[in-house]
Structure 1
Amino acid sequence: MAVRIRLARFGRRNHPIYRIVVMDSRSPREGKYIDIIGTYDPKRHELIKFDEEKYLKWVSLGAEVTDRAKAIYKLYKKLSAKQNA
């Protein structure tokens, strides 16, 4: 089973919010997921929640990361560095 870290859409019409989830690569976008890593609001460009430990655990176990999920992880690192400075 190929596992991917990717986005699953939820929220309401014209206001999407995405969950960053671990799921089988063959599952549909809103399909059954294995684990939730975080959430992201693209309208405000804010990370609502992100669990870096879970992300690194799944990457070390061989999960593929989609381009968008990688970009959100980089945003998380940038925002957390800005808050710590």
Structure 2
Amino acid sequence: MVKIRLKRVGKKGKPFYHVVVADSRRARDGKVIEKIGTYDPMTQPSTININLEKVETWVKNGAQATETAKN
């Protein structure tokens, strides 16, 4: 199953995430199908950049967002 989820890429103590489309059987930080955005929780307020067209395309093709990615 294909999922839309967060992939951690930041340093220790400084999290930064890529919003990605990946196979649910892969590791959290493993191989991805496509990067569709970023999330930076360290800024005030948190910064979220997502390509909504790509999200819509993947959802139409059956991808499901994880609970964290939905929020």
Mapping for residues 62-73 of structure 1, pairs under 5 Å: 62-71=62-71
Name the one with the larger helix percent. Answer: 1
Structure 1 gaps, min length 5: 72-85
Partner of 1:76: none
Instruction: Give the number of the structure whose alpha-carbon radius of gyration is greater.
Output: 1
Identity %: 46
TM-score normalized with structure 2 length: 0.92
Structure 2 counterpart SS, 1:58: helix
SS of residue paired to 1:16 = coil
In structure 2, stretches of 5+ residues that fail to align are none
Number of aligned residue pairs: give it. 69
> How far is the alpha carbon of 1:18 from its aligned partner?
0.5
SS in structure 1 at match of 2:9: strand
Instruction: Deviation per CA, 1:1-40: give whole Å up to 9, x if none.
Output: x100000000111111000000000000100000001000
* Aligned twin of 2:47: 46
Superposed structure 1 runs of 4+ greater than 3 Å apart: none
Query: In structure 1, how many angstroms separate the alpha carbons of the residues matched to 2:64 and 2:31?
Result: 17
Residue of structure 2 in register with 1:26 after alignment: 25
- Give the superposed CA RMSD: 0.8
